[in-house]
Amino acid sequence: GAGVSQTPSNKVTEKGKYVELRCDPISGHTALYWYRQSLGQGPEFLIYFQGTGAADDSGLPNDRFFAVRPEGSVSTLKIQRTERGDSAVYLCASLAGQGTNIQYFGAGTRLSVL
Amino acid sequence: QKEVEQDPGPLSVPEGAIVSLNCTYSNSAFQYFMWYRQYSRKGPELLMYTYSSGNKEDGRFTAQVDKSSKYISLFIRDSQPSDSATYLCAMSSVGEKLTFGTGTRLTIIP
> DSSP string of B77-94?
SS--GGG-EEEEEEEEST
pLDDT confidence band for A98 (50 / 70 / 90): low
Q: Which of B36, B30, B5, B20 is nearest to B101 (CA)?
A: B5
From CA A91, how far away is CA A48, in angstroms rounded? 12
**Cβ–Cβ contacts within 10 Å for residue B33, how many?**
26
Could you tell me if A23 and A74 are in contact, meaning their C-beta atoms sit under 8 angstroms apart?
Answer: yes
User: B98 vs A101: CB contact, 8 Å cut-off?
Assistant: yes
Averaged pLDDT for residues A49-60: 93
**What does the pLDDT read at residue B8?**
79
B60 DSSP 8-state letter: T
What are the residues of chain A with a beta carbon less than 8 Å away from any beta carbon of chain B?
4, 6, 31, 33, 35, 40-45, 48, 56, 59, 91, 93, 98, 100-108, 110
B43, B90, B99 member nearest A106 (Cβ): B43
Averaged pLDDT for residues A65-80: 96
Is B23 in CB contact (< 8 Å) with chain A?
Answer: no
pLDDT confidence band for A89 (50 / 70 / 90): very high
Q: Could you tell me the CA-to-CA distances from B22 to A42, B6, B63, B72, B104 in Å, in that order?
A: 14, 6, 10, 6, 9
**Cβ–Cβ contacts within 10 Å for residue A94, how many?**
25
pLDDT under 70: residue ranges of chain B: none
